[in-house]
Chain A
Amino acid sequence: MEYTKQEFMAIVTGREIKDGQLIILGVGLSMLAGYFARLNHAPNLRAFTEGGVYGSTPVGGLPWGIECNRISANATSFTNAIDALGFLVASGRCDNAVIGAAQVDKYGNVNTTGIWEEPPWKAGRYPAPRVRLNGSGGANDIAVGAKSYLIMASHESRRFMEKVDYISSPGYLDGGDARERCGFVGGGPSAIISTLGILRPDPLTKEFYLEAYYPFTNVEEVGESTGWELKVSPEVKVVPEPSEQELKNLRAVDTTGSLRKKG
């Protein structure tokens, strides 16, 4: 069966989501991966949004936002941000999450705030950005509080950077035990799922290395698409292709075909 890179990334992300987990999902790819997982292999997934929308299954296609009526049409509870991002995420209760990244670095730090001519950490000041993105939204709260979480990103060297322009959502900061020193409640990102493969953090240094790549690429291409000297697992594998059943289940969630438009 034909599939797009975006679909492959969503399915691979979904495979990282386990049955029974309490998971917070954001808009777009995050929601698609999560609801795909629930339909495909995790029927008891307990999914919610940062607005405190519980128990729902999106209707009519990809929701336009976390509060879109497409996700509010069959909810079992509506609460609020304090509940979802505070009581369930900042408290450390939430098992898993999926966040996106405009830029990500080798320690899994994510930038979704802006692009600068000279980044603040280099300039020693904080001028207006050349390009303003969206800010962190709830992703910073998730990055700090969730037991673990997944990062999804398009794998290009301009996005996979040695050092991001701005840390909107902290991964392992500068590696090692940096998270512990900051007193973060959650455990940090468990993987970066890209359009080319799966990166995992080294248990000690926390630097992300290539664990597996997709069948349509190779180690060289992944390395060239990464802005730091990407380490490769000695047991590097090829990620199994999406099965027909997985694609069928993903498309049952992505009814408007948003992942098929992106090549």
Chain B
Amino acid sequence: MHNKLMTIQDAVAAYTWDGMTYCHGAAFPVGSDSVAFGREMVKQNRKDLNVICHCGSSQVNLLAAVGAVRRVEVGFSGLEVYGFANGLNRAVTSGQTVIEDYSNGAMAFRFFGGAMNWPFVPATVNICNDQQWCSGDNPEVYPATDKIPTITDPFTGQTLGAFRCLRPEVAAIHVTMADIHGNAIMLGSEWSRFEMSRAAEKVVLVADKIVDTACMRQYPNLVRIIAEVVDAVVYWPLCSWPQASCGLYDSDEEHMFMMNKAMKTAEGTDEYCRDWVHSYQTPEQYLDLIGQDKIEKVTATETAFLMDPYRQWIKSDVEVAELLDQARG
């Protein structure tokens, strides 16, 4: 198995393009997500994206705020206790972004169906209500009949909804730790990352830590994302910031509120991008921007003990740089 480490710039250049169907995850609005990857997509000026996110997060909030999202499918679009996602909501209410709503359960089932290569997934959720009757893709028809068509269970005669399966072109998946081949361990809820990693055509892991493969051999039951389905591995410390990463850092409360407030207007978004997206290139510059005080605060997490079993295998920044050089050949 070869070394799949890439810089975030190279990974975004190689695995994203205008008009693509892009999936990011977990995603959790406050926790795991490949937020740093989305920032790099903004830097590289990606446009016209069809985004699939199980839940919205700061990533799709930013991408929509800069006008890069044509369409989004989502189970929940807010930022939980941090409030409504101002950037995404601005894009939706202005008509710039089409939003297609499902429930969180339905999104998970649809990733599962995509992973299984099923034609559709049958379920009883989302039917007999506006999740079925309102289609962002077909807004002139109410009640819509082609978003979640009604079917009959051939065995019992029961009415069910038929759900389109999800097969994103690329998924950028946040993981706590990965080896250079693409084996990964996730701490905290997986949400739908297991299914997402099998449903997407290409998978890029965005990892907070790079560990030796010996770590995976010690805990193979915990390796839920496997090298066999992964195309690239990006190392980016605090890659979920300002959101949390279980075991490593808490959400940055101050920045979550500040960033979401900025997303409310185009001007605020421009200023935010100037200060917090276009203002760094390397992981070192990114960490400097966040600042040592803030890093100490968010990494003083009650969940830190969860990392104890894995610490002996974590690669230092110098070792990761050497591995990255090797990968480039």
Give residues in A with beta carbon < 8 Å to B: 27-28, 49-53, 59-60, 62-70, 72-73, 78-82, 85-86, 89-90, 109, 113, 120-121, 123-141, 144-145, 166-170, 173, 178, 182-185
Give the chain A neighbours of B142 by CB distance below 8 A: 120-121, 123-126
Closest to A50 in B: B104
A125–B139 CB distance below 8 A: yes
A residues near B144, Cβ cutoff 8 Å = 126
Q: Which of B90-98, B209-217, B276-284 contacts A (4 or more CB under 8 A)?
A: B90-98
Contacts known (A82-B192, A140-B125); A64 close to B109, Cβ less than 8 A: no
Tell me if B59 is interfacial: C-beta within 8 Å of chain A.
no
Q: Are B302's CB and A132's CB within 8 A?
A: no
Do A132 and B30 contact each other (CB < 8 Å), given the known contacts A67-B191, A81-B54? no
Tell whether A80 pairs with B82 under 8 Å between CB atoms, given A64-B251, A69-B303. no
State A82–B194 Cα separation when bound (angstroms): 10
| A120-B142, A126-B142 known; A80-B129 Cβ under 8 A | no
* Shortest CB distance A61–B (Å): 10
Residues of A contacting B306 in the complex (Cβ-Cβ under 8 angstroms) = 72
Majority secondary structure, A binding face: loop
Which residues of B are found within 8 Å of A73, using beta-carbon distances?
301-303
Q: Does B307 contact A (CB under 8 A)?
A: no
Q: Which residue of A lies closest to B298 (CB)?
A: A69
- Rounded to whole angstroms, the CA-CA distance of A203 and B135 in the bound complex is 33
Q: Which residue of A lies closest to B81 (CB)?
A: A64
Chain B residue, CB-CB nearest to A124: B142
What residue of chain A has the Cβ atom nearest to residue B133's Cβ? A120
**Closest partner residue, chain B, to A27 (CB atom):** B80
Q: Do A128 and B93 touch across chains, with their CB atoms under 8 A apart?
A: yes
| Known contacts A168-B129, A173-B128; A64 and B82 CB within 8 A of each other | yes
When the two chains form the complex, which single residue of A59, A135, A173 contacts B74, counting CB atoms closer than 8 Å? A135
B103:A67 contact, CB within 8 angstroms: no
B183 at interface, CB cutoff 8 A: no
Chain A residues with Cβ under 8 A from B251's Cβ?
64-65, 68-69
Q: Mark B35-63, 1 if CB is under 8 A from A, else 0.
A: 00000000000000000001100000000
Measured CA separation A126–B77 after assembly (Å): 18
Instruction: Tell me, rounded to whole Å, the shortest Cβ–Cβ distance linking A65 to chain B.
Output: 3
Identity of the chain A residue whose Cβ is nearest the Cβ of B301 in the assembled complex: A69
Q: How far is the CB of B178 from chain A (nearest CB, A)?
A: 18
> Do B124 and A185 have beta carbons less than 8 Å apart?
yes
Which residue of the partner chain, among A72, A131, A134, contacts B76 with CB atoms under 8 Å?
A134
B130 proximity list for chain A (CB < 8 A):
113, 120-121, 166-168
Nearest first, the 7 closest Cβ-Cβ pairs linking A and B are A65-B30, A51-B189, A141-B105, A134-B78, A67-B31, A137-B76, A85-B105
Can you list 11 pairs linking A and B with CB atoms under 8 Å apart? A72-B187, A72-B188, A79-B189, A81-B190, A85-B103, A85-B104, A86-B109, A113-B130, A131-B93, A132-B93, A133-B84
- Decide if B31 touches A132 in the complex (CB within 8 Å): no
**Interface size (B, Cβ < 8 Å)?**
76
Contact with A along B140-161 (1 / 0, CB 8 A): 1110100000000000001110
Task: Please report the C-alpha to C-alpha distance between residue A109 and residue B92 in the assembled complex, in whole angstroms.
Answer: 24
- B129 with A135: CB separation less than 8 A: no
> In the assembly, what is the distance between CA of A69 and CA of B245, in Å?
8
Q: Are A69 and B191 in contact (CB under 8 A)?
A: no
Task: From known contacts A52-B190, A65-B80, A81-B191, infer whether A135 and B101 are also in contact, taking CB-CB under 8 Å.
Answer: yes
| A81 to B, closest residue via Cβ | B108
Contact of B84 with A67 in the complex, beta carbons under 8 Å: no
Contacts of A137 in B (CB 8 A): 55, 75-76, 103-104
CB-CB under 8 A from A166, the residues of chain B are 130, 134
> Once bound together, how far apart are the Cα atoms of A134 and B78, in whole Å?
5
Q: Please, which residues of chain A bring their CB within 8 A of the CB of B193?
A: 80
Interface residues of B in 175-193 (CB under 8 A from A): 187-193
Is B103 a contact partner of A134 (Cβ separation < 8 A)? Answer: no
Chain B residue numbers with a CB within 8 Å of A69 are 31, 188, 244, 246, 250-251, 301-303
Tell me, in angstroms, the Cα distance from A136 to B109 when the chains sit together: 15
- CB atoms of B105 and A86 under 8 A apart: yes
Residues of A within 8 A of B191 (CB): 51, 67, 80-81
Interface set, chain B 192-242, CB cutoff 8 A to A: 192-195
Residues 110 to 140 of chain B near chain A (Cβ within 8 Å): 112, 123-131, 133-136, 138-140
Flag if B246 contacts A135 (CB, 8 Å).
no
CA distance A179 to B138 in the complex (A): 26
Chain A residues near B108 (CB-CB < 8 A): 80-82, 85-86
- The minimal Cβ–Cβ distance linking B309 to chain A, given in whole angstroms, is 14
Which residues on B sit within 8 Å (CB–CB) of A70? 250, 302
* Contact between A132 and B99, CB atoms less than 8 A apart: yes
